Chain A
Amino acid sequence: MQPTLAPGDDVFVAPKRQPRVGDIVVAGHPYTSDVVLIKRVSAMTDSHVELASDDPAEGTDSRTFGPLPRHHLIGVVIARL
């Protein structure tokens, strides 16, 4: 998520906040249950969110794994410490 976030950055996550397009969110990986993703919401429907990387050349996101069912969302990032 560079340049927005660097490896090792700490962030606050609001678990109950409804995400909007443009928010950075934390979500469960669609295929690997023990991996948690941090990505930016690029599009939304009632049932799914599309996640994008701020560094598209490096990140893995909905271009690879497709739209994510909304129940994978863990929360919205509201601050970087």
Chain B
Amino acid sequence: MLKSLLNALDSAAPAPVAEAHCDGPCGIYDPASARIAAEAVRSMTKKIVALTPPDASDGKAMAHYLNSLTRYVAIKEEEAHKAKEQLLVLWTDFFKPQHLAAHPNLHDIFWKATKLCSACKVEVSPVHADELMEAIEEIHNIFWSVKGRKVDWVLAGG
């Protein structure tokens, strides 16, 4: 009786909501930042693989080659680390035990995704760069399903 009266009151004039999980100060999370970094990793990996060393006697061409190779490697290293950081923030700050109940493989997905970031740093592997993107797409789908929104998986690099 009391419960139904209170429910009727709550329907007529809903009570304010109080939060116990208030991940301030900004509360803004989005797997897009990890996805952008991983896209850069994949792009740099492809560019490194596509580079052809010039004839060693051509000093000018060799300097150009070494400069490009160094830049690609440096960016790959930096972006792979950035992707890992962004994934760790999502994993440890955004996701809560109730999300794990709905997605029991969550820890495994994040563990594999962050290991792939490390593999992409150590290696020049288009296969692992693709697998990293696939892992982040899976995290994107879980993240937005938890948020109750439909957000398309869109790539900056096409």
CB closest residue in chain A, given B98: A7
Confirm or deny: A47 has a beta carbon within 8 angstroms of a beta carbon on chain B.
no
Indicate if the CB atoms of A29 and B10 lie closer than 8 Å.
no
A49 close to B (CB within 8 Å): no
Total contacting residues, chain B, CB less than 8 A:
18
Whole-angstrom CA separation of A53 from B26 in the bound complex: 19
State whether A58 touches B25 (Cβ < 8 A).
no
Chain B residues with CB under 8 Å of A30's CB are 24
| A59 at interface, CB cutoff 8 A | yes
Residue of B nearest to A77 (CB): B18
Residue with the highest number of chain A CB atoms closer than 10 Å, among B18, B21, B24, B25 = B18
Residue ID in chain A nearest B10 by CB atoms? A10
Residue numbers in A under 8 Å from B10 (CB-CB): 10
B21 touches A60 (CB 8 A): yes
| B27 surroundings in chain A (CB, below 8 A) | 32
Give complex CA distance A38, B18 in Å. 6
Tell me if B96 is interfacial: C-beta within 8 Å of chain A.
Answer: yes
Q: Is the CB of A26 within 8 A of B18?
A: yes
